[in-house]
Amino acid sequence: MLYQLGTHWPVFVAYLISFFMIGVVWVNHHALVRGIAVVYRRLPTGKHWAARARFVGGGLAYVIAIVVGNFYAVASFVIIALVAVYYVLERVPDAYQAPAGDASTDPGGPDGSRSGETSSAG
C-alpha cells in the first residue's frame, strides 16, 4: 500500500488539500450562519435585483467559458478575464468625480479665490 501511495502521491496530496479547503469553508459557513439574527423573507427590490442579475450573468459567462474552453482555451481565458475585470471596475469609484473638498471643485471664498491663493483686489 505504501508503494502505491508513493506512486500516486500527487493525487493523495490534492485530496488532502481539497478535504482541508472544504473543511475551512464548512467552518466559516457555520460561523457566518451563527451570527444571523433576523431573516427577512420578502421580494428583493431595487439594487438587489441588479445584484442578482449580475450574479446570474457572471455565472452564465463562466459556464459559457467552460464550454468554449473545450474548443478554444484562449477564448475561455479571455471571457473569464473580462468578467473579472468587469467585477473589479464595478467596485471602483468613479474616476472622473473629484473627491469632496478638492481644490479643482472648491469655489473658494466670497471673492472666488481658492484656498492658498491671494486676491489681487484690495
Question: 25: which residues sit within 8 A by CB, 6+ positions away?
Answer: none
d(CA 28, CA 24): 6
What is the CA angle 94-96-99, rounded to 5? 80
36-72 residue pLDDT tens: 777 766 666 666 777 777 788 888 888 888 888 888 8
**Cβ count near 83 (within 10 Å):** 19
pLDDT-derived band at 20, boundaries 50, 70, 90: very high
Q: How far is CA 100 from CA 9, 60, 97, 107, 111, in A?
A: 58, 39, 9, 12, 20
pLDDT band at 120 (very low <50, low <70, confident <90, very high): low
For residues 72 and 91, the model is more confident at: 72
- What local confidence, expressed as pLDDT, does residue 43 receive? 62
